[in-house]
Structure 1
Amino acid sequence: MTVTGERAAPAAPEARPTSVPNRTGIEVGPKRRLRESTLDEKFNVLGALVAGPTVTTLLFGWFTPLTGPIGWVVVSFVLFIAFYSLLVSLRSDREEVKDRITTVLLISAGVVLFGALVFVVIYTVGRGTIALPHLNFFTQTMQFAGPLDGLDVGGIAHAIVGTLIQISIALAITIPLGITTAVFLNEVGGRFARFVRTISDAMTALPSIVAGLFVYAAIIQLITHQRSGFAAALAIAVMMLPIIIRASDVVLRLVPGNLREASYALGSTRWRTVWGVVLPTARSGLVTAVILGTARGIGETSPVLLTSGITAVMNLNPFSGPMISLPLQVFDFVKSPEPNIIARGFGTAAVLILLVLLLFVVARLIGGKGPGQLSDRQRRRVAGQSADDARRMNRTPAASPAAPLAAQPTGTPAPANPEETSQ
């Protein structure tokens, strides 16, 4: 029973979940981020992660005579997939179960590949730390070092210099040839372009030993009659060229077509458009292609083994005498049964791995942005140039001789000529 004259307190509004209206004004449900996991998804993953290793431990320790860490990991992963699919199927349909299992398999494959890379790097660098702390390892050669000498004698300076000389010659050959071929494939086209693209794709899968045999038969046996750094550089160039062509081809395809059309509309020729529009737009991607090809060439061993020769002294002339490189030096070191020589081999391999990883990091930093995307520094520079142009265009023009005439009253006619003014 209510008292007369008193109003009932208004009821509190009912709490409603946050919803997102679509264009027609109909609410379509709460907003959720695509990368955000729900509580059910987290429970499914954590439950499968706990159940899989637990059941595997019971199988290996109690119910079956299974042993071994590798078998334990394999069985744990299989049971994890089984429990995860079971938990997901409780509240999802068949298609969603397939999607979740595929996602887990892809993530697991990425983890395995990354783990293998980390293991190789850590193991090689760990074994190479015996030789890496010695300064002479980077400044001396193996000319006066014997197999029984300690790590304080000898080094890989000749291999480092040989690698730099060979890769420089290979870059001088592959950069203009590879980028020009990629430009031809994208800007000219035609039947011959399809043939060239097919050949370059086939050369990507060419075994490195075949490239070494080709250079050995065509250059060493017929022309130079001796192994040299130049022959090794040619073999490395054969391996680098398809990588640079393929990567540059993909990058040039990403250049927007309207940029070419705008250049043609302004009256520019095809090659002027390529030189002034296409190549500057894809500059970062082309640099990435060159660095990836360089990383491939630095690590080649089979073609260098047949073409460069093995030496323990410094050779700065790539056209005369054998010239060893880092991969070939590793191969030569690890053949020895002496622990110190093997330690030098792992140290050389560690230097090679760190050099290749450095090149890939540089490629990632340079090629992290697509064509036309500017970095923060470039964006600030463009903004500064735009501000300077705006200030220059808004600047007040200087007073001209016709300015006093404009200041006269409207009703006063301007004199026709100076003679009427004098009269």
Structure 2
Amino acid sequence: MTNVASPAPAGVGKASSFLEISGKRKATDNFAKVIIYLCMALAIIPLVFVLWELISKGLPPVLNAEWWTQDMLGTMYHQSGGGALHAIIGTLVQTLLASVIAIPVGIFTAIYLVEYSRGGWLGRTTTFMVDILSGVPSIVAALFIYAAWITVLGFERSGLAVAWSLLLLMMPIVVRNTEEMLRVVPMDLREAAYALGVPKWKTIARIVLPTALSGIATGIMLAIARIMGESAPVLILVGTTPALKWDPSGGPMSSLPLMMLDMYKAGLNPNVLDKMWGAAFTLVLLIAILNVGARIISAKFSVKQ
């Protein structure tokens, strides 16, 4: 008598195949997670090392009240004492001058490209010019301002010339970031406002911009962080001074990047190194404060989803 094996149910083979595929997917997913976490750890290691070096060497000088209230006038670089008030004020003034022009012009340019351009020749030309400016090195922007502002127009080297150079570096970042944030805003919000009879300009001002405010503020802070640490413009367009100066229209005007370069050229004296690390820590601290302030402002005034 021959025994005939009964065929397996049709669903058993499909279930085993599904489990096999599911197991492979889980293994691949776990492997990808391990690779991602490993890359993240490798990226964090140099960041932690840099922050540790910056805080450990730059924090002690800035804990002294003189650092925030005095300049370096009358104090030699290799001597102890003195402060960075002149460099802090110079950095803030130059950055403020550039931001006052770059931020509104960049935002209005992005609004035109997203809301009004419609693919016209002016929009295409503007996009092309923004792309070019995005790739311009800081040294090229500084040389352009030197040729146009100082050589051709006859103005002297000053903090204002530095601000013009920083403006060229900051504007394309603001335009590109604002443009992307405006495109993220759902079109349904615009159409709902138009259906209620709200004018286009008021829709942009009351709905589109507040909705994208958080991302726009983040992009502006990234642009400010970039220009605050630029060294090429201050090397070419303004002279250094150890004295506090508020007027950027003419003459030497210090800044934190320029102060660090001056300290580096002064030699490897311990006092010089302390001041150099203190200037670096102060620059990072100012950028961090601006970022926190921008996050608070955007969280307060942006539209709640």
TM-score past 0.5 threshold: yes
Give CA-to-partner distance per residue, 1:327-374, whole Å, 9 cap, x none: 111111122222211210111101111222333344455557997435
**Which of 163, 167, 171 is the matching residue for 2:99?**
171
Structure-to-structure mapping, 1:6-405, within 5 angstroms: 92-93=23-24, 97-150=27-80, 153-189=81-117, 190-191=119-120, 192-337=122-267, 338-364=269-295, 372-373=303-304
- TM-score, length-scaled by structure 1: 0.62
Letter matched to residue 93 of structure 2: I
Give CA-to-partner distance per residue, 1:181-233, whole Å, 9 cap, x none: 11011101213323322332342232111111111111122224421011111
Give CA-to-partner distance per residue, 1:388-415, whole Å, 9 cap, x none: xxxxxxxxxxxxxxxxxxxxxxxxxxxx
CA RMSD of aligned residues (A): 2.6
Q: What secondary structure does 2:266 align onto?
A: coil
- TM-score, length-scaled by structure 2: 0.84
Q: Distance in 2 between matches of 1:100 and 1:367?
A: 37
Q: Distance in 2 between matches of 1:130 and 1:371?
A: 38
Could you tell me how far 1:288 is from its partner in structure 2? 2.4
Could you tell me how far 1:102 is from its partner in structure 2? 3.3
Could you tell me how far 1:158 is from its partner in structure 2? 0.5
Could you tell me how far 1:297 is from its partner in structure 2? 1.6
Q: What secondary structure does 2:136 align onto?
A: coil
Q: Distance in 2 between matches of 1:112 and 1:220?
A: 46
Q: Distance in 2 between matches of 1:348 and 1:266?
A: 54
Instruction: Answer yes or no: is the 8 Å Cα contact 2:210–2:301 preserved in 1.
Output: no
Instruction: Answer yes or no: is the 8 Å Cα contact 2:214–2:295 preserved in 1.
Output: no
Q: What secondary structure does 2:153 align onto?
A: helix
Q: Distance in 1 between matches of 2:32 and 2:151?
A: 53
C-alpha change, 1:218 and 1:97, in structure 2 (3 Å) is farther
Letter matched to residue 168 of structure 1: L
Could you tell me how far 1:269 is from its partner in structure 2? 3.1
Which of these two proteins has the greater Rg computed from alpha carbons? 1
Give CA-to-partner distance per residue, 1:71-124, whole Å, 9 cap, x none: xxxxxxxxxxxxxxxxxx9x943x655543333222222222222222112102
Letter matched to residue 354 of structure 1: L
Instruction: Answer yes or no: is the 8 Å Cα contact 2:106–2:171 preserved in 1.
Output: yes
Q: Distance in 1 between matches of 2:48 and 2:26?
A: 33
C-alpha change, 1:113 and 1:198, in structure 2 (3 Å) is farther
Which gives a bigger RCO, structure 1 or 2 (Cα 8 Å, sep 6+)? 2
Instruction: Answer yes or no: is the 8 Å Cα contact 1:235–1:304 preserved in 2.
Output: no
Q: Distance in 2 between matches of 1:112 and 1:197?
A: 36
Matched positions, count: 283
Q: Distance in 2 between matches of 1:138 and 1:359?
A: 17
Q: Distance in 2 between matches of 1:302 and 1:218?
A: 16
Could you tell me how far 1:285 is from its partner in structure 2? 2.7
Q: What secondary structure does 2:198 align onto?
A: coil
Q: Distance in 1 between matches of 2:26 and 2:188?
A: 40
Q: Quick one: percent identity of the two aligned structures?
A: 38
Letter matched to residue 284 of structure 2: I
Higher helix share: 2
